[in-house]
Structure 1
Amino acid sequence: MPISIQLSRGLLTVAGEREVFSRIADALLQVHGLGGNAFLAPTVIGHVDIYPEEHSYAGGKPQSLAVIEVKVPSVTFPDESVKSRFVKVATDIIDELKAGGHPRDRTFVNVTYAVDGAWGIAGKAYTNADLGRAIGAAAGQAS
């Protein structure tokens, strides 16, 4: 599940820049009750990109900006409560790690869904049903 975190330079502390990805990735799994799932955990991948503040725009003006984009299978985020929890937790993480006065209203969270059957890992295309079986099997192995 690719995660792209785009930040203005200086928005987070140096330590925050190092830990933001792992915290957001963990939050993605935790809100689904899948923390530590042996199948899913290695599929949470991505980047943290840091841009000069003068290249970050909100309201048409250069200013601090945090954008968290998650690309997931279409069965992910099955209801409004899971969506709301993830958006809140991801925004809270940015707030906890920020270096200064970045306002909460310039942190954006966006989720994009893959078409069923177009989620690929290691050269294998998974349908939603395939993913459910793989996740369930990995959960059963952990027990």
Structure 2
Amino acid sequence: MPFQIILTEGLVTKSRALLLHAEIVELFMSIHGISNNPFMLPNVIGEVVFIDHGQTFSGKEVRDIAVIELKVPSFTFGTQDLKNQFIERATESVLAAAEGKLTKQQVWINAVYTVDGFWGIAGKAYTNAELGHAIQSSAHA
């Protein structure tokens, strides 16, 4: 599951961005009840991208921003409550990492659902059902 965090340069240090990524991964895993799942953990990948100050925008104005984008299967975040929890807690994590340099209005979070059958992991294309089975099976192994 690719996670991308996009930040305006200078909002957080690179070392703090690494911690933020780890926090977001743990939040995702924990609210889905799969923390330390042997199948999932190595397959939650990501990156932190820093965009030069003055090159990030909100509307037509230059603004510092933070964006978290997840690419996940359609069965992820199965309830509105899970979506709410993730967005609220991820926003809090970003704000804490930015140490007062951002407001909630400068944080955007979204999930993109991938096409069923197009999860490529270690050279194998997984359907949503196969992916769910792999996650569940490794939890009981």
Does the alignment reach a TM-score above 0.5? yes
- 1:116 aligned onto 2:120: no
Q: Which residue is 2:72 aligned to?
A: 72
Give ranges in structure 1 of 5+ residues lacking alignment: none
In the alignment, structure 1 residue 55 sits paired with structure 2 residue 55: yes
Rounded Cα–Cα distance in structure 1 between residues aligned with 2:85 and 2:26: 13
Amino acid at match of 2:66: A
1:51/1:8 Cα in 2 relative to 1: closer, same or farther (>3 Å)?
Answer: same
The equivalences for 1:1-143 within 5 A come to 1-141=1-141
Q: Which runs of 4+ in 1 moved over 3 A?
A: none
- Superposition deviation, residue 72 in structure 1: 0.5
Q: Which amino acid aligns with 1:74?
A: S
Separation in 1, partners of 2:121, 2:109: 24
Instruction: Give a deviation string over 1:33-72, Cα, whole Å, max 9, x none.
Output: 1111000011110110011220010121111100000001
State the Cα distance separating 1:14 from its structure 2 match.
4.7
Question: Match of 1:55, SS?
Answer: coil
Shift, 1:97, TM fit? 0.8
Q: Deviations over 1:16-41 (max 9, x none)?
A: 22311111111111111111100001
Native 8 Å contact 1:12 1:94 kept in 2: no
RMSD between aligned residues: 1.2
Structure 2 alignment gaps of length 5 or more: none
Q: Higher mean Cα deviation, 37-46 or 94-103?
A: 94-103
Q: Identical aligned pairs, as a percentage?
A: 38
C-alpha separation between the residues in 2 aligned to 1:4 and 1:26? 14
Equivalent-residue separation in structure 1 for 2:18 and 2:115 (angstroms): 32
Match of 2:38, as an amino acid? A
Q: CA deviation at 1:13?
A: 4.1
| Structure 1 SS opposite 2:78 | coil
Give distance in 2, aligned partners of 1:18 and 1:122: 24
